[in-house]
Amino acid sequence: MISGLQKPTGGKIFFGEDDVTELSTENRGIGLVFQNYALYPHLTVFENMAFSLRLKKTPQDEVYEKVTAAAEILGITEYLTRKPRALSGGQRQALTLLMASLVKPKLLLLDEHTAALDPKTAAKVLETTQRIVERDNLTTLMITHNMRDAIAYGNRLIMMYDGKILIDVSGE
């Protein structure tokens, strides 16, 4: 519901003071990262990274600059002309994370973004996540079943069940 992929049955959703309840997903200013990579297999890595920037009518020279800078962060510049299948699972997930952050979202929503990765790769992706979130000062909502990750990477921990907050560790 936060992302706009499902309509709430009641209540309203606010981002700060802004009521986004009726806004479509693309108009909420959210960067979404799912556990299944969400890459376009027929596009190159560069084209995947540039996709959302081009949708926002970003000038081509700025697209090139942002994509190449992001690729350097991941150490995947040599893969820019290849298809996503040339990347490892961890590289693909880090790529989707960078793609979501390139458009400077109001909220970065990470939905089990490390669930499909082995523990070592998940740790690398979480480190990349933390670097990007801190670098871009992104408000981030990380959905996870991994309590260790939630405690290590979150500054506010909320446990929910059936749409209700059971525990708010931050005390807010």
Q: State pLDDT tens for residues 67-109.
A: 998 888 778 888 899 999 888 888 888 888 888 888 788 888 9
Q: Of 111, 116, 137, whose CA–CA distance to 25 is shortest? A: 111
- Give the pLDDT band (50/70/90) at residue 42: very high
Please provide the DSSP assignment of 14-47 as one string. EETTEE-TTS-GGGTTEEEEETT----TTS-HHH
Look up the pTM and report it. Answer: 0.79
Do strands 164-168 and 158-161 pair parallel, antiparallel, or not at all (unpaired)?
Answer: antiparallel
Question: How far is it, in rounded angstroms, from Cα 48 to Cα 137?
Answer: 23
Q: Examine the pLDDT at 61 and tell me if it is beyond 90.
A: yes
